[in-house]
């Protein structure tokens, strides 16, 4: 297994201005792996409780190349659950509830079959846990971490230790602002580089993403979608990361040019995710559809 | 004169989080024409009062290709003056004062030497006045209009009449949202097309711009600049329009592909403007510098 993601598998409740859904198959590792698996094999390290719906497992097993050898199920525990509501502005949402459940227990262990993994994505969790995962991959070539405002506030020291050990950080613009005290996305990214990683990707939701790297900067708009196509933005950021890492693992690269192209794949995979609740649209991707959307994106975002 | 802009020449007072300046050479027509003149000749139709500083005239006359034959000076009137303050978020500002002065009098007349103009930019003013300007260009091939929230609220009927007669509308995202009651920039632009124009450009400031056209959509990020480089965003939107129209006039085109490239030129010209107060940075552009920045932008915004 060349690419592995550590993160959450969860049960989501989502309210959008137009519809609501309960019991949606969610979690950062689910969205990441579903997107990445569209480009190549990916292994999941996560833990669920005894209440995890069989249908959710069937959904994940339906993605060819998505490996669940690293998924631990603990019968006496409860699966992570999250509920959120999107405002008219698809870029802003409020969390209605978070039931951490099994996430407050010891983290899942990395199975032996994953130990050779070279491309590692450390989904958002306590940075000390992310560090623990990282050290279980002796052959790691490219490690990228996500984080969130909670750890920026409550585990700053551990987060800084983590940043010194990873190759890249993928972070959204509001978290980057909180972390650096700056606002401009380029300046934020530049500042995060000082903390240790070799590159930073700042995600701006519907406004695209920016890559800050010692060799240069790359900027991309989001894929241009109209409001009616945006059914549910949940997981778009994790799908971006999945497309990004999936491309790098497939190409076995981590140089600036590859990172730039990986951002475009991330953007395209994210554009599928938000067209449905949960993993439905990622599941329905047809052969050739990613390439077609990449070409469409290349045409729409052509510069001069 | 192939390209003509109608708009304001004004005296600006600008406060940014880092510095303040009074008596800055400003106005939509000034920024537009200064930017457009970097790509080819452009004529200005505007009116100033007797108090217009000689130094401001010297600044404008310093741009080769910028023609002031259509600039009327009315000794007894006062020049339009505007004061604004930028918040930490360079994308938001508050207006401190607006002294309309000579703008409340009859509009300037279009000089005979401009009557052959084919590319016309109608800078923001009352839409009835924009319509009056438009009709003075019998050879118009491509007319593009700007507008603002005030006219959306107070002159909606005239604005709709204007939109039926122009080829394109350049509008910022908050105005597009106010005009359409929608929020997603693509949806807003699509809706504005229903009002009559052949294409719409929605400007999103530091988040780039979107072109909506019957033949397709184009999306561009902004040029990636760090906070310290952003000295004063005033006039960036007008400079974008100037670069956009300057390119189209130079190439004598108005097709989708040309509009897409024109957006990139607009983005690059705007990126110069915000590096200084007033027209200083546009004035200091060196030979080859626009082409270099275009290549830099092409590399930074490459998709896959």
pLDDT, tens digit (0-9, with 9 covering 90-100), for A139-157: 999 999 999 999 999 999 9
Q: Inspect the interface and report whether the beta carbons of A224 and B219 lie closer than 8 Å.
A: yes
pLDDT, tens digit (0-9, with 9 covering 90-100), for B19-34: 999 999 999 999 999 9
- pTM for the model: 0.93
- The whole-number pLDDT of residue B61 equals 98
Mean pLDDT, rounded, for A28-53: 98
Which residue in the block uniquely carries the two structure tokens 């600036």?
Answer: A256
* Cβ contacts from A onto B, under 8 A: 114
Q: Which residues share a beta bridge with B42?
A: B66
Q: Inspect the interface and report whether the beta carbons of B226 and A260 lie closer than 8 Å.
A: no
Point out the residue among A187, A225, A298 whose CB comes nearest to the CB of B303: A298
Q: Give counts: helices (H), strands (E), chain B.
A: 11, 13
Residue A91 pLDDT grade (very low, low, confident, very high; cuts 50, 70, 90): low
pLDDT, tens digit (0-9, with 9 covering 90-100), for B245-266: 999 999 999 999 999 999 999 9
- Minimal C-alpha gap between B254 and chain A (Å): 14
Interface residue B304 vs chain A (CB under 8 A): yes
- Minimal C-alpha gap between B109 and chain A (Å): 35
- Looking at per-residue pLDDT, the higher value among A183 and B44 belongs to B44
Instruction: Locate B291 and state its tokens.
Output: 């082409």
- The whole-number pLDDT of residue B227 equals 81
Task: Enter the ipTM.
Answer: 0.89
Interface residue A302 vs chain B (CB under 8 A): yes
- Looking at per-residue pLDDT, the higher value among B17 and A272 belongs to A272
pLDDT, tens digit (0-9, with 9 covering 90-100), for B264-281: 999 999 999 999 999 999
Q: What is the mean pLDDT of chain A?
A: 96
- Minimal C-alpha gap between A227 and chain B (Å): 6
Point out the residue among A184, A216, A300 whose CB comes nearest to the CB of B216: A300
Residue A90 pLDDT grade (very low, low, confident, very high; cuts 50, 70, 90): low
Q: Inspect the interface and report whether the beta carbons of A184 and B227 lie closer than 8 Å.
A: yes
pLDDT at B8 over 70: yes
Q: What is the mean pLDDT of chain B?
A: 96
- The whole-number pLDDT of residue A258 equals 98
pLDDT at B91 over 90: no
Residues in A 216-235 with any Cβ partner in B closer than 8 A: 216-228, 230
Burial label for B65, CB within 10 Å (0-12, 13-18, 19+), is middle
Instruction: Locate A216 and state its tokens.
Output: 């240069």
- The whole-number pLDDT of residue A170 equals 97
Report which of B247, B205, B194, B206 is spatially closest to residue B38, judged by C-alpha positions.
B247
pLDDT at B90 over 80: no
- The whole-number pLDDT of residue B89 equals 67
Query: What is the separation, in whole angstroms, between the first and last Cα of chain B?
Result: 41
Q: Going from the N-terminus, what domains does chain A have, and what CATH number goes with each? A: 3-300 (3.40.1190.20)
pLDDT above 90: percentage of residues in chain B: 94
- The whole-number pLDDT of residue A89 equals 67
SS3 A189: helix
pLDDT at A19 over 90: yes
- Minimal C-alpha gap between B200 and chain A (Å): 14
- Which distant-in-sequence residues (6+ apart) come within 8 Å of B85 by Cβ? B14, B15, B16, B93, B94, B96
Report which of A57, A2, A5 is spatially closest to residue A249, judged by C-alpha positions.
A2
pLDDT, tens digit (0-9, with 9 covering 90-100), for A182-210: 989 999 999 999 999 999 999 999 999 99
Interface test with A, best of B247, B256, B304 (most A CBs within 10 A): B304
- The whole-number pLDDT of residue A88 equals 76
Q: CB of A227 within 8 A of CB of A254?
A: no
Report which of B201, B186, B90, B91 is spatially closest to residue A90, judged by C-alpha positions.
B186
Q: CB of B10 within 8 A of CB of B100?
A: no
Q: Inspect the interface and report whether the beta carbons of B187 and A226 lie closer than 8 Å.
A: yes
Residues in A 188-207 with any Cβ partner in B closer than 8 A: 190, 204, 206-207
Which of A225-234, A293-302, B10-19, B135-144 is predicted with the least confidence, judged by mean pLDDT?
A225-234
Interface test with A, best of B178, B181, B182, B184 (most A CBs within 10 A): B184
Q: Which residues in chain A are closer than 8 Å to B300, comparing Cβ atoms?
A: 216-219
Mean pLDDT, rounded, for B96-117: 96
CA A144 to centroid of chain Cα atoms:
10
At residue B74's C-alpha, the angle toward residues B70 and B77, to 5°, is 135
Query: Which residue of B lies nearest to A206 if distances are taken between CA atoms?
Result: B184
């Amino acid at each position: 297994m060349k690419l592995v993601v550590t993160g959450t598998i969860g049960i989501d409740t989502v309210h959008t201005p137009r519809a609501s859904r309960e019991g949606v198959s969610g979690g950062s590792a689910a969205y990441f792996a579903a997107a990445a698996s569209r480009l190549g094999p990916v292994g999941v390290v996560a833990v669920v409780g005894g209440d995890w719906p069989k249908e959710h497992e069937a959904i994940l097993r339906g993605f060819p190349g998505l490996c669940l050898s690293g998924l631990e199920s603990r019968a006496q525990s409860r699966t992570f659950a999250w509920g959120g509501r999107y405002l008219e502005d698809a870029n802003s949402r409020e969390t209605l509830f978070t039931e951490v459940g099994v996430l407050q227990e010891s983290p899942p262990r990395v199975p032996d079959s994953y130990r050779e993994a070279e491309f590692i994505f450390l989904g958002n969790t306590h940075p000390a846990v992310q560090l623990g995962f990282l050290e279980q991959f002796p052959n790691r070539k490219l490690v990228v971490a996500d984080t969130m405002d909670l750890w920026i506030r409550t585990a700053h020291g551990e987060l800084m230790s983590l940043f010194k050990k990873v190759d890249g950080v993928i972070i959204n613009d509001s978290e980057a602002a909180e972390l650096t005290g700056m606002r401009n996305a380029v300046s934020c990214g530049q500042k995060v580089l000082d903390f240790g990683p070799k590159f930073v990707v700042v995600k701006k939701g519907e406004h695209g993403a920016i890559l800050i790297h010692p060799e240069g900067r790359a900027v991309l708009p989001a894929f241009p979608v109209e409001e009616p196509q945006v059914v549910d933005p949940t997981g778009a950021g994790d799908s971006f990361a999945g497309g990004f890492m999936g491309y790098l693992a497939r190409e076995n690269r981590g140089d600036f040019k590859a990172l730039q192209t990986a951002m475009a794949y991330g953007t395209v995979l994210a554009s599928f995710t938000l067209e449905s609740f949960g993993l439905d649209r990622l599941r329905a991707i047809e052969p050739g559809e990613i390439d077609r959307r990449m070409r469409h994106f290349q045409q729409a975002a052509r510069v001069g």
